[in-house]
Amino acid sequence: MRKFKDFFNKKTSNKVAWIALVIVILVIILSVSATSMASYLKKKSELASAEAEKEAQNLLNQEELTNTSKMSEEELKKLNEKELEEKKKGDKKTTTTTKNKYYIKVNYGAQVVTIYTYDKNGKYTIPVRACICSTGAATPTSGVYRLSWKATWGKLFGNVWGHYCYQIVGDILFHSVPYMQNRNDTLVSAYYDRLGRKDSMGCIRLTTIDAKWIFDNCVAGTQVEFYSSSNPGPLGKPTAKKVSNAPGKLKNWDPTDPDPKNPWRDYKEEEEKPDKDEDKNETVNNEVSNSEIGNNEVVNNETTSTETGNNENINNEENSEVDNSEINNEVENSQTNTESGNNENNEIENTEQNTETNTQKPTNEENTSDTEQNNSQVVTNSEINGL
């Protein structure tokens, strides 16, 4: 009995020890997991706040900028200097005295932006890029300003959005053609079709690729000069595709947008097929027009080859008809001669009639004129049938 109790107590103590060990292990695991989860949530919160801050920096609200529509040139220059100073303080970067690589000229007379770089003498005489643009009533008419703030998206007047915004002075910006939302697939196609003429409130609208180029390559402090001339500049005036009538979602995208999702990338190859069909249609139309005007001849390849190739057949058929008429005349004459009994006289008459018939055979020129008349009738019939 005592042995049984000792064995039972020993087994019970071992079981409790195992349970305690398992509990300790679970507690350690839970504590480690809780610590890791807390660290993960903290990092996630920090990343979210950093993203929010970055997003806030990449959004520019035009309504919060100074209205420049009623400012003089001197006031605009002072405002631009103030904005540059605030930009330098916000960046907390030491400024350098190195020369800016590019110089931007906005020709609001020709609606062209030309970008220059400097030559060996340090003067901005080498044209690098020309951009079609649209300016507006509040666009500065003269003076030189410097780029300051920029943002990937900016909320513009009229509750629309600009892509790759770069502030010039006050509420005057470089940016893309407006979008309905800060998304690449919400382009306002009507505005895009009016690129190259005065259409904005004052900002300089560009294609997305041109706005991105300035955004990526021109640093803050790059000079921007405004002037007016009928001469578009050394690189001329580029053109922009019309998108309002584009099929499907194409009209909601800027054709120059480098986004890989841009549907214009796949459409460029398919664009050539309708052109070939149009060329064929134009060829057919030209052939029909030539058939109507060009001496009553059908220029369509099949019709021409068939009809012109059968001129001789038509002539042969007409000659056969004449020969048949001669044979019929001979038969009729022979019958008449048999009835009247004047075979010899009828043969003489038949010979004379055959001679007259042969003299009445149409010449090649007459056959040709008849053929042309037949051909003109064929063309007329074809026109009536809607060729």
- Per the CB < 8 A criterion, the answer to whether 256 and 265 are in contact is no
- Per the CB < 8 A criterion, the answer to whether 153 and 216 are in contact is no
In a domain, 141, yes or no: yes
SS3 25: helix
Neighbours of 361 (CB within 10 A): 13
Instruction: Give 12's pLDDT tier (boundaries 50, 70, 90).
Output: low
84 and 225 inside one domain: yes
Instruction: Give 47's pLDDT tier (boundaries 50, 70, 90).
Output: confident
Instruction: Give 383's pLDDT tier (boundaries 50, 70, 90).
Output: very low
Rounded to a whole number of angstroms, the distance between the first and last alpha carbons of the chain is: 121
How many domains, in total, are found in the chain? 2
In a domain, 188, yes or no: yes
- Whether pLDDT at 254 is above 80: yes
227 and 108 inside one domain: yes
191 and 330 inside one domain: no
Q: What is the pLDDT of residues 216-234, one digit of tens each?
A: 999 999 999 999 999 999 9
- Whether pLDDT at 53 is above 50: yes
344 and 235 inside one domain: no
Distances (CA, A) of 237 to 107, 166, 205: 10, 22, 15
Measure the CA–CA gap between 234 and 204, rounded to whole angstroms: 20
CA atoms within 13 A on the CB side of 143: 18
In a domain, 28, yes or no: no
Amino acid at 241: K
Least confident of 161-170, 171-180, 352-361: 352-361
Neighbours of 151 (CB within 10 A): 22
Give the end of a domain, one of 213, 237, 257: 257
In a domain, 320, yes or no: yes
SS3 content of the chain, % helix, strand, coil (to 5): 55, 15, 30
Question: Residue 343: what pLDDT?
Answer: 42
For 358, the domain range is 310-384
SS3 77: helix
Order of strands across the sheet that contains 102-107:
59-61, 150-156, 160-169, 172-176, 204-206, 124-134, 112-118, 102-107, 223-227, 144-146
Please report the beta strands in the chain, taking only residues with DSSP state E, as ranges in sequence order: 59-61, 102-107, 112-118, 124-134, 144-146, 150-156, 160-169, 172-176, 204-206, 223-227
246 and 327 inside one domain: no
133 and 228 inside one domain: yes
Any idea what the CATH number is for the domain that residue 150 is in?
2.40.440.10
| DSSP structure string for 101-117 | SEEEEEETTTTEEEEEE
251 and 315 inside one domain: no
Question: Residue 3: what pLDDT?
Answer: 60
Q: CA 117, 123, 125 angle in degrees (round to 5)?
A: 55
- Per the CB < 8 A criterion, the answer to whether 46 and 149 are in contact is no
Give the end of a domain, one of 257, 280, 299: 257
185 and 74 inside one domain: yes
| DSSP structure string for 180-231 | SSSSTT-B-HHHHHTTTSS-BSSSEEE-HHHHHHHHHHPPTT-EEEEE--SS
Encoded tokens for 123: 């003067």
> pLDDT above 90 covers what percent of the chain?
50
186 and 92 inside one domain: yes
80 and 179 inside one domain: yes
What is the rounded average pLDDT for all residues in the chain? 76
Regarding beta strands 112-118 and 172-176, do their DSSP bridges make them parallel or antiparallel, or are they unpaired? unpaired
Instruction: Look at 371 and 216; give whichever has higher pLDDT.
Output: 216
- Whether pLDDT at 67 is above 90: yes
Give the end of a domain, one of 214, 233, 257: 257
Q: What is the pLDDT of residues 104-138, one digit of tens each?
A: 999 999 999 999 999 999 999 999 999 999 999 99
In a domain, 238, yes or no: yes
- Whether pLDDT at 262 is above 90: yes
Encoded tokens for 217: 């390559």
Measure the CA–CA gap between 198 and 31, rounded to whole angstroms: 67
Strand-pairing partners, residue 225, are: 105, 144
Instruction: Give 41's pLDDT tier (boundaries 50, 70, 90).
Output: confident
315 and 252 inside one domain: no
- Whether pLDDT at 167 is above 70: yes
In a domain, 145, yes or no: yes
207 and 317 inside one domain: no
Measure the CA–CA gap between 163 and 153, rounded to whole angstroms: 5
- Per the CB < 8 A criterion, the answer to whether 250 and 145 are in contact is no
Amino acid at 240: A
Encoded tokens for 67: 């209205």
In a domain, 38, yes or no: no
